[in-house]
Amino acid sequence: MKGAGWLAILALPLAACSIGKGVGAASGTIYEYGCNKNGDYCSPDGVCGTVANPASYDLKPSYFAGEPIDDLREFSPGSEVMSNRLIIRLQRSGKQIELNDVLTFDVSSSYEVARCVRGRVDSATGTNDWDEANCYRASDTGPGRLRVQYDSPVHAALTLKSTCTANMVASAISSPVPLSYDTAVAPVVANGNWDSWVEFQEFGSAGQNNLAPSERDPIGTKFRTDFGERIYASSFYLTLIDDNVVNAAIYTRPKPDPQMGGTLGGDPTTGRFDFDLQRGQGAQFFP
């Protein structure tokens, strides 16, 4: 991924019967101008969304996929953190992604997510062993809340290739506008109250809730998720804006008018996912 733009990713195949199974929710309100030849995005009840008044939307995910992608750099023991990724997709159906409504979570650092989920406290210093700029923990055994934005360990984006024919992407941001457009000093966010976040209760082998925080093991710098492991986000909330706006901010270009945006999730009934990573056969590339 360059900035907030999305590169081609591996899509799991549909042949194996266990592939794609899971449970989840992803609903909220959105707008997309020029959604298709008939005009802008409109909800099933006929209300068309605008920036000021987005219309209701429900992804109704029925297919869940995860693709671990290992950092291929040569590992240097004792120092280097490997950037092992996990790309998670919630899809309306098992069709190809270019024919689907898809919500993607791109975990760019499985190590940082694992530290947040584990919730270890250093027994010698009493300091939290996680990045507090991107992780918040409300309790010792509860989920780890990760900030979601183009510059955090978790990115997210929505595409509506089933509902709409326009080639648009909306990316999640964790502040009212991308920071490059904010002329004031960004406020300090307390209690993980970012504008976009995801709470992971289970992230592969990261959890150690059976132990006290000071007794938990440090996360290894080569941490990765693997097939057969559970990925469980108990809740998420995403503030979405046109990817062209995000990229313009990143590269200091004039701010365009957003053509797509909205919000998804907020509680377990409107934003969550729970599935086991499954190995597919003959994976193929889709744009």
Residue 234 to residues 131, 134, 198, 267, 272, Cα–Cα distance (Å): 20, 18, 8, 8, 5
Residue 43: its pLDDT value, please?
A: 96
Pull the structure tokens for residue 115: 């530290």
Residue type, 12: L
Tell whether 6 is covered by a domain: no
Q: Which domain holds residue 46?
A: 22-279
Tell whether 217 is covered by a domain: yes
CA distance 190 to 185: 15
Tell whether 127 is covered by a domain: yes
Q: Which of 17, 13, 7 is nearest to 96 (CA)?
A: 13
Burial 173-193 (b: 16+ CB within 10 A, else e): bbbeebeeeeeeeeeeeeebe
CA distance 142 to 72: 33
Tell whether 1 is covered by a domain: no
Tell whether 17 is covered by a domain: no
Tell whether 11 is covered by a domain: no
Residue 77: its pLDDT value, please?
A: 59
CA distance 167 to 150: 20
CA distance 184 to 199: 28
Residue 223: its pLDDT value, please?
A: 95
Tell whether 242 is covered by a domain: yes
Averaged in consecutive runs of 10 residues, what is the pLDDT profile of the chain (287 residues)? 39 52 97 95 96 97 94 67 93 92 97 98 96 96 96 97 96 82 65 96 97 97 94 98 93 93 98 90 36
Q: How many domains does the chain have?
A: 1
Tell whether 65 is covered by a domain: yes
Q: Which of 24, 13, 32 is nearest to 60 (CA)?
A: 24
CA distance 115 to 20: 27
Pull the structure tokens for residue 166: 């326009």
